[in-house]
Structure 1
Amino acid sequence: MRRSLSFRLVAVLLSAQVIAFGAIPLFTFLISISGGAPASNMTINDWAQGHAYDLVVGSLVRAADGSVRLDASPALRAYMAEQPRLRVAAIDARTRAVAHGSSPELAATLAGLGKIEAASLRFHISDDEDENSRGYAYRTAPPFEDMLIAVYGYSFQWNDLLFVIGSLFSIPGLLSASPMIFGAVAIAWLMVRRGLAPLRAAAAEVSRIDLDSLDQRIPQAGIPGEVAPFVTAVNQAIDRLSAGVATQRRFTANAAHELRTPVAILRARLETYDDVTFTQELKRDVRRIQTIVEQLLTAARISNAESAMDEELDLSAIVLTMVADYMPLVIENRRHIEFDPPPSTVLVRGNRRALECVVANLIDNALRAEPEGGTVLVQVGRDATIRVIDHGEGISHDELSKIFEPFWRKDEHSRGTGLGLSIAKDLVELHAGMISVTPTPGGGATFEVSLERILT
C-alpha cells in the first residue's frame, strides 16, 4: 500500500523538528563557548552541572529511620576523581540537616542562606580564587523531594554534553516536550492538509473527466506555484486528447457519410445497366472503394502498432508492382501509364502495405485526372522519391493548401470521397516522409513523396 504524500511530508517535517530539538543544546553550547551571548553569564563549565547533579541524586540512600545519606556511587566517585575541585552536598530542606557524605565546606556555605528557600539556585562562592567556578543547587523530585542537592566546582567534559542531549530524549525529557511535539505534529498535519487541498481538488476534477466531458479543465485558481506546472501539463494533455478524439469522431462520422458516395454511384450503375460502359465503370467504382477501405485499415493498424514499420523494402519494386496492378484498368479507360525506374536499387524502411496504398491512391487520382489517350508518368528517383505526374486540369493555387485535408473535394460534383490523399499523407508521415503537390508544366499535377533512403 502506498503511503500518502501527506504522511511523507508530515514525517519529514517531524523528523526535521526532532533533529532541531536535539540540536538546541549544541547551538546553545557553541554560543556559550564563543561568548556570543555575554548577557546570559553562562560559561562552558555550566554544561557540567546537570550531569554532576544527576550523579549526586543517584547516590542518595534513605535509611530505615528515614534519614538520608550521600553514599557516592562508582559513577560519582569516578567523576569526582576526574574533577578534584568538585564538592557535593545534600541538605534536608526542612531541618537543614546535612546528609552524611556531604562536603562540610559546601554545606556550611549553603547554611548561610538562612531562611531563604530556593527551588533552584546558581551561585559562586565569593572567596573562591577561581572566578569561573560555579555552583548549582536544586530541590530533588520524589522520593527525595525534601532534599536540596548542591554541586560546586564542576568543570566541563565532553560526556557532560552527551548527558544533556541524552536527557532531552529520555522518557522524562520527551514527556516534558510532548506538548510541543504533539502540537508540532498537529500543526504540520493541518498545514500539509491545507497545502495539498488544491492538489486533491485538482485530482477530483481529473477523475470526473471522461470521453463525454473532455471540454472540462482543471481550474488553476489557488493552485500553488510548485503544482501549477503539473496542472498546466495535465490540461495541455487533455487539450491534445480532446483534439484527437474530436478528429477521430469527425473522421469516423465523415468517413461513413462520404463512403456512401461511391456506394451510391455503384448502385446507380447497377440500376442503369449498360453493356458498353457498365464493366468499365463498375471496376473503377469497386477499385475506388477498395482503395479507400484498405487505406483506412492500414492506417488504423499502423497507428495501433499492429503492423511492422521496420521492413527493408525495394521502393522501385513496390511502385512497379502497383503500376502493373493498374495496367488493366488503365487500358480499359483508354489511358496510358509509363514507369521510369531508378538506375539502381533504392532501399527504404517501412511498411509494404502502407506504401502500396500511397502509390495506389496517387495512381488512381492521376488516372481520373488524365485526359483520355493521355499518359500518366510514374517515376522513382535514386533519392527515394516517388513522382506521379498527370496532365489534367491541374490544381489551382488556392486548392494546393487544402488538397490533403480530410473530405476536401474540388466541388460537390467531384467524384471520390476526399479521403484518399488525407490518408496517404498520414501514411507517408508515419514513415517520417513528406508528400507534396506542384503544377505539372503544361498543365496537370505532380505529386511527390520523399522518403529516407537506406544507404548501402
Structure 2
Amino acid sequence: MKELRARSLQWVLVRRLILLQAATLLIFIVLCVAALWIANPRLLIDNEAAVDALKNAVYRDSNGKLIVHETEELRSFREEFPNVWYIIRDSGGQSIRFGNVPDVYNKDFGGLLSEVDHATLGFSEDDLRPEAYIEKAATKAGMMQIMAATRSSRGETEGLEVNISATVDVARNPDGSRNWEKALPALAVIIAILLLPIILVMGATTLVTTPAVVRRSFAGLVDTADQAARIDIDTRAMQLPVKRVPQEIAPLVHAFNQTLARLAQGYDRHNRFLTDAAHELRTPIAILRTRAELLKKEPQSVRLVQDIERLSHLAQQLLDHQMLDRPASERQIVDLTELVSRVAADFAPLAIEAGYDLAFEPSTSTIHVEVNTLQIERALANIVRNAIDHGGARGTITVAIDETGGIEVRDEGPGIPAEEHENVFEPFYRLQPQSRGAGLGLNLARQIASLHDGTIRILNGSWPGARIRMQLPVRS
C-alpha cells in the first residue's frame, strides 16, 4: 500500500489564497455590475453637465423668441464654473450665445453638426482651444442643439487635468431596446480580458510571496521542531520555546511541554522507587547472607547462598541504574590502564573462586580517557561478572586493553550464538532462563558506553568462548 504523503501547509495556503483572491475579485465585479445595472447612472463630465443644466432652462417668450431662465441648477453651475459658455440653436436658425465663446465655434460648420445627435469636439494636445460638447436635446422650447463648455481656453485649467473616456455601445433591437443575447458573449469576453491579467498578476504575486511569508512565519516552529527532535531520555526535562511559535500552534507546544514535564516527573518517581527499593533490599539481603553462611555446608545451604548472592547482585544493578543520571560535569581524565587494572584486581578473587584463571593484558602505551570513573567501573564490572557467570567455570578470563581505547573481556566458555548478539543487551533477557544472571548487566554496560560516546558489542570469530568489546573515545 502506498504511503500517503502529508499535505504541505505552505502550498495549501498558496492555492487557497489564489482562489480566494480570484473569487473576491469576481464577486466584486459582479456586485459592481449589479449596482450599476440597478442604479443605471449617467456619468457627466463638466461640458456634458453644462448642457444638462441648460436643458431645463430654455424657454420661448410670448413672441417665440428663445430665452434662458436662471434656474437654481443653472445658477449653481455658473457659480462652480464661472467661465462657462454656450450656444443654443433651434431648427429655424434662432440662437442664443452666452459667455466668451471661442472664435472657432462661431464659424459655420455646414449641415454636418445639425444632424449630429451628440458629440465631443476637440483639438490636438498642443492646441489651446478648448473642447466643447454638442447635443441635440428636447427642451420646453422644442428640440434644440446645445453646444457648451466650461472654459474658453485650455490655459484656464488649475494645473492638472485627467480625462477618462469610455464608450459602450450595446447591440439594439429594431425597437431600440438592447439586444443582450448578442451583447452578453462579447461582454463576457471583455470582462475576461480585463480580469485575466489581474488574476494572473495576483496569482503570480501570491506564488512568489506566500511561500516566503509562510516560511518566515513558521521559522520559529521549525526551530522548535528541531529542538523537539533532539529530546531524549537524558534531556527529558527540556521545555520547548514558544516565543517564536505562531499563536495558533502555541497551545500544541504548551501541551507538549506539559506532557514532557509529566513524563519527566513520572520517570523520576519510577527511578526513586527503584532506588529506594534497592536500598531497602540491601539490609535484609545482608542479614540473609549472614544467616545462610552460618548454616551447615549442605547442597541446599550452598544453593541458598547462591540465590542470596544473585538477589544481592540484582539489587546492586538496580542501584547502578541510578548512576545513568549523573551529569557530564562529573567526568575526569584518567589513565584507562589504571582504571581497568583496578577492576580486574577486584574481581580476581571471585573469578578464582568460581574456577577461572584471570589474566590482565595492559596496553603498551598510556591511554587517557575522559569518563565518569564510577560509571565505567560499573560497566566493566558487569561485563566481567557476565563472563564469570556464563564462562563455563573453566579456562581463563582475559581483560585486555589496546591503544585505540578498546577494552575486551574474553572467556573460554560456550560463547554466545551470533543471532543472540543483540538480544543479550536487552534488559532482563537471558540465554538460559535458569541462569543466575538477572539480564541487566550488559544492558547497563551499553547505556553507560553510549553516555560516553562509546560502543559495546560482541565480536565474531572462530575462537572459543565470548569476546565483548567496549570502545571509548581516547583523549588526545
Higher Rg of the two aligned structures: 2
Using CA pairs under 8 Å that are at least 6 residues apart, name the structure with larger relative contact order, 1 or 2: 1
**TM-score using structure 2 length:** 0.43
